[in-house]
Amino acid sequence: MIHCYQFNEHNIVLDVNSGAVHLVSGVAYDILNFIHASGVFPPPGETPGTTPGGDLAPEGPLAIALCAALAEKHPAGVLTEALAEIRALAEAGMLFTDDSQVTPDMLEGRGAVIKAMCLHVAHDCNMACRYCFGDTGAFSGPRGLLSRETGKKAFDFLIRQSGARRNLEIDFFGGEPLMNFGVVKELVAYGREQEKRAGKNIRFTLTTNGLLLDEEKEAFINRHMDNVILSLDGRPEVNDAMRKTVGGQSAYARTAGNLRRFQQSRQGTYYVRGTFTKYNLDFSEDVRHLAEMGFPGVSVEPVVADKTRDFALREEDVPRILEEYDKLAQLYLEYAERGQTFAFFHFNMDLSQGPCVVKRVSGCGAGTEYVAVSPEGDIYPCHQFVGEPDFKLGNVNDEGFHNALYERFNAAHIYNKPACAGCWAKFYCSGGCHANAWHENEDLLKPYALGCALEKKRVECAIGIAAHLAPPRLP
């Protein structure tokens, strides 16, 4: 399977199963589009091992058909020349490849090991953002804070379940985790003790709205957090339309002030993360705002909300959003060409390597290697399932833990999702977000279609940016 598209002046061809990316001339682009449209090469998995070289033989029926179809647009000699190059790449395993490298073991034989935890240290929040998927911090349950005892049991649980994995991750999440910062500090100290004892390396992350940041907390965060996610949506009026304090007050000035101070002291990775809704479909301006504030890492994400909400994204918004991603890609290039590169999370792809194919086919890990834990110690497949009784996997206080939903989540990979079979982007999104699939379709195997449309565009932009910045260019 191949995917052909244009980005700026570039003709880009992605060989889906190998991950190879080619920049091609107009002639080669027309030929490859013709071959793709002819359906000669069916989706992977149906004909493993297909070797297309023979089908592209100069005297073969496909070559004759495409030369006839493109004769008016391109001279015969040039068509033959480009076709020969395409054939050479196909024979070298860089075009029209199959997916025979993906084995059943990669998909479902990785073993039930938990290595990452989203630890809800506070089911309460000092903000009441309109779009909050966590019910303004309560996650459809009682408001409350994680106790140190339950937190320690959550750490013990993670270490116990992590098997031979060395690198473990704990994200202090909420609600607002800074409302329970004393416990965060105690748990970090506990984690440092336990990782030595168990031969592990725990990486801590904190996700915060930043309202309660102060210099003392920042010093601790800088010392112990491998990554920090700070929430701010962008322009003041955009931010304040959705993100208000519990008392309904504007939060922009205070948040932005704290984030700027944090920015000065931070040594290490951090992202400023915003959300866009139907009310700011011009969200590239919010990314610009955050980039102009000097934040080196920015992530602005589509809102996750029930379609009945006034700010929810709908199918009719998709064309506008795709245009906006194009604008954002141009903004990104503008900054890069000025030497002021910032990282936009979804454009941040290392195309020369990136994650291995096993990671790409196994997905986000929710419900298998990644779990969320509530302040009561209840375990869920991920933070977006917290508070849903049907998805409760157990409690950190349970003596024995058996993940009753393991098989279900483990099997929710791209090879079991009909919508992913023929999708060119499957090795980039890995089948999409389980929670989005469930909340939209009540089916883990049916991806959230709107999310797929946006993800495909983001991947096109990410590859396009890499292509644009890859010298030298074709004439």
Partner 1 sequence: MKHIKTIVKPVLKIVAGKGCGECQTSCQSACKTSCTVANQECENIKRR
Residues 251-290 interacting with partner 1 (rule: CB under 8 A): 271, 273, 275
Taking the complex as a whole, the smallest distance from the CB of residue 90 to partner 1 amounts, in Å, to 11
Q: By CB under 8 A, which span of 179-187, 209-217, 363-371, 404-412 interacts with partner 1?
A: 363-371
Binding status of residue 453 toward partner 1 by CB under 8 A: no
Q: Which is nearer to partner 1, 172 or 252 (CB)?
A: 172
Establish if 88 lies at the interface with partner 1 (CB under 8 A).
Answer: yes
Minimal distance in Å, beta carbon 234 to partner 1? 15
Q: Does 203 bind partner 1 (CB under 8 A)?
A: yes
Interface with partner 1 includes 101 (CB under 8 A)? yes
Dihedral in degrees, nearest 10, Cα atoms 19, 20, 24, 30: -50
Give the one residue of 3, 120, 123, 165 binding partner 1; rule: CB under 8 A. Answer: 165
Q: For partner 1, give the closer residue by CB, 40 or 358.
A: 358
Q: Does 466 bind partner 1 (CB under 8 A)?
A: yes
Query: Looking at beta carbons only, is 35 or 303 nearer to partner 1?
Result: 303
Among 151, 191, 297, 377, binds partner 1 (CB under 8 A): 297
121, 413, 432, 438: which one binds partner 1 (CB under 8 A): 432
> Residue 401: is it exposed, middle or buried by C-beta count within 10 angstroms (0-12/13-18/19+)?
middle
Determine if 360 is a binding residue for partner 1 (CB under 8 A).
yes
Residue 382 found at the interface with partner 1 (CB under 8 A): yes
Helices 181-198, 215-224: axis angle to 10 degrees equals: 20
The single residue among 20, 69, 241, 333 that binds partner 1, judged by CB under 8 A, is 20
Query: Is 7 near partner 1 (CB under 8 A)?
Result: no
Q: Which of 1, 4, 21, 405 binds partner 1 (CB under 8 A)?
A: 21
Asked whether 210 and 230 are in contact (CB, 8 A), the reply is yes
Torsion of CA 385, 386, 388, 393, to 10 degrees: 90
Closest CB 474 distance from partner 1, rounded Å: 6
- Residues near partner 1 (CB under 8 A), total: 94
State yes or no: residue 18 binds partner 1 (CB under 8 A): yes
Whats the size of the chain, residue-wise? 475
C-beta of 264 vs 352, nearer to partner 1:
352
Nearer Cβ to partner 1 (31/256) = 31
Work out whether 115 is an interface residue with partner 1 (CB under 8 A).
yes
Residue whose C-alpha is closest to residue 280's, from 253, 307, 241, 249? 241
Q: Which residues contact 223 (CB under 8 A, 6 or more apart)?
A: none
Q: Using the rule CB under 8 A, give the single segment among 214-222, 237-245, 415-423, 463-471 that binds partner 1.
A: 463-471
Stretch that binds partner 1, among 184-192, 203-211, 306-314, 396-404 (CB under 8 A): 203-211
Minimum distance, C-beta of residue 241 to partner 1, in the bound complex (Å)? 18
Q: How far is the CB of 399 from partner 1 (least distance, A)?
A: 26
* Of positions 89, 127, 154, 202, contacts partner 1 by CB under 8 A: 89
**Minimum distance between the CB of residue 36 and partner 1, rounded to whole angstroms?**
15
Q: Is 363 in the site for partner 1 (CB under 8 A)?
A: yes
191 binds partner 1 (CB under 8 A): no
Contact between 97 and partner 1 per CB under 8 A: yes
* Of the candidate residues 217, 235, 289, 383, the single one contacting partner 1 (CB under 8 A): 383
Q: Which one among 348, 397, 398, 404 touches partner 1, defined by CB under 8 A? A: 348
* Residues 34-73 interacting with partner 1 (rule: CB under 8 A): none
Residues 243 and 248: their CA atoms lie apart, in Å, by 9
